[in-house]
Structure formats: structure tokens, C-alpha cells
Amino acid sequence: MKYILISICLTLIFSCQGDSVSQSEPLPPPPPPIEVEEKPAQVMLYAWVDKLRLRAKPDTKSDVVKELAEGEALVFTGEKTDFSQKVNLRGVQYDEPWMKVITGDDKTGWVYAGGVKLYQQTTDKSRSPYDQCYQLLELGNQRQFDNCVQKVKEAQLTKYASYIKPDSRGYEIHLLSGDKLTLLDNDPNSLGKNTSLDFRAYYPKLGYFVFRMYSDSADQFLMINDKDGSRMPLWGFPKPSINHQHFITLSSKKEDAQLNGVQLFSFTADGLQKQHEHDLLDAKPLIAKWTENEKVELTIMQPSDKSEQMFFALEGVDWKVVK
């Protein structure tokens, strides 16, 4: 009997100690965002010869993988032959190596270097996740642009998985305040009937999540504050300035209800404010490049398919078109 009583006491003591430990254990902190290695900028090329042949091997007698259209964008893998070949292109003889490239529809092969050119661009001193996609759009490759957007979006979802939780109904957003914000598609009490969201990016330096918003009236973008969940609608995807104190958005008209132009926003003493809207009428905005903190270059496409550049600069408290 004595040994039984001792066993019972020991059991109670250890049981109480276990309860005490479990009650005093702190809750684990929320997981940090997944670190995704930033890849170096890709070298963009384009075919300047129509029906340039993408081949399986670096030889004019190798199987043709695809015929490339003039102006089609390519990504250079960095691999090229250590030998060159003499090839006649448009009446001019070239003596160039072969380059391994990837097309917008993910076909890999070899092109003759004499038939491609390096895509030159104005130095862009700011970065956004979709810069390479908009380079494709500037070259007129809509399908490749769409493929690029899908890949970048998936990478952004992976990188910020601790903040953004997508499901079949919409998104659950974990704000920095510790609160959760649920946005449901096609919900009159959330976004509105016949309205849905598609996550595109998170800008920690701006303090906003960026979503593409689809609705019956017009497609636009929506920024959601990462601290309080407040919302700000935009015409297009935001491109931050070098110091992240300003950003520009572009919107291209596809339907009558769609807006066609640019917006410029700045952080002021009163918070984030829209400071300028510019209707481009029939011209199509293609890509924005920040050359200075308060100056941005915009490439537009005229109805004649001629591309032009225009500049916006901050003068005082107003953004103006400058030369």
C-alpha cells in the first residue's frame, strides 16, 4: 500500500510539472517571408530577321525547332559556341557564332548570332518584379508578356506565402498589425458582386500589397495597406520610383470602359496621395522607367504603331510633362 501511495504522488507531481511547462510556453512567432534568391537580370535579344530559324543544334543543317518572327523577343542563356560560321542574311555575309536562347513560349534552341540584336533600353534606376515582362510588351510580344506575368506572380506568391494565403474563394491577408483580412471573390460584402482579385506583388518599402481587380465595369488594380488593410484603387500596375516616395501606374485601353493613361502618386505629409492623371487618348502606354527620383520616362505607342517617349517630372507639388 505504501508503494502504491508513493507512485500516485510521483505521478501527480510530474503531471503538474508538465501542465506548468505547457502553460508557460510562449506562442511561436509568425513565420518570416520565404527568401527567394534574386536572379540577375536576363539578357534580352530580339530577332531582326523575319523567319529566323531556331535550331535544335548550332548548325544550319540541324532540325528547325521554330521559325521566329521579326521582332520576337528571346532570352539569352549565356551559352554560345566557340566557333563561328559564315551565313548570308539579307544580302550581307556575317561570320558569327551561335547563341542558345529561350523563346516566350518556352522553346529552347540555337539561333545564329547575326540574326539577333541586343535589346537596348534607357537605364531604368528603379526595379519592379515585372520589369522583364514589360520589356516583352514593349517589343510587341503580348503572348510572351502574359506567360512572363504568370511566372512572376507564382514567384511572388511563394516569396510572400506567410502574408498571402490564396484559396478557391479569394485571399486571406496577414497584416503587419497581426490582424487578418479576408477578401472574397464575387461577394457584395467584400469586394462587390462580380468582382475578383488576382495577387500580383508585395512592396514592403511602399507598405502595400498589389492585386489585379477584375469586374464587370473595368479591370484595374488595387493596393492594400499592409498595416491597416485600407484600400486604394489604381488604373494599372504601380512602378515605384528609386526612393519609393512616388510611383506611376499605366493603363491601356482594351474596351470602351477601360481607362487609357497614367497616374502619378506621392507620399506627402498627409500620406499617400494621387497627384496627377494623364489621359493619353488613343496612344497606348507601354513601359515606364525612372531616370531620377522625380523624373520618369514613358514609352507610348501611337495609333500609327510608332513608339515615342514622353517624360513626367515633379515641379513643386505638381507632375508635369517635360521634354
Of 181, 129, 180, the closest CA to residue 155 belongs to: 129
- Mean of pLDDT values over 193-222: 90
pLDDT digits (tens, 9 = 90+) for 223-278: 999 999 999 999 999 999 999 999 999 988 666 556 789 999 999 999 999 999 99
Contacts of 166 (CB under 8 A, 6+ apart): 157, 199
pLDDT band of residue 194 (cuts 50, 70, 90) is: confident
Helix (H, G, I), strand (E, B) or coil at 153: helix
Average pLDDT over the chain reads 83
Q: Which residue has the higher pLDDT, 176 or 281?
A: 176
Whether the per-residue pLDDT at 125 is higher than 80: the answer is yes
Mean pLDDT value across residues 75-91: 89
- 161-179 pLDDT, tens per residue? 999 999 889 999 999 999 9
Does this model's pTM top 0.75? My answer is no
Q: Residue 309: what pLDDT?
A: 87
Q: Is 175 exposed, middle or buried (0-12, 13-18, 19+ CB in 10 A)?
A: middle
**Contacts of 172 by beta carbon, 8 Å cutoff, 6+ apart:** 164, 165, 180, 181, 182, 183
**What is the CB neighbour count within 10 angstroms for residue 129?**
18
What local confidence, expressed as pLDDT, does residue 15 receive? 46
177 Ramachandran zone, left/alpha/beta (phi>0; psi -120 to 50): alpha
Question: Which three cell numbers mark 296?
Answer: 520618369
Report whether pLDDT(6) > 90. Answer: no
Assess whether pLDDT exceeds 50 at residue 21: no
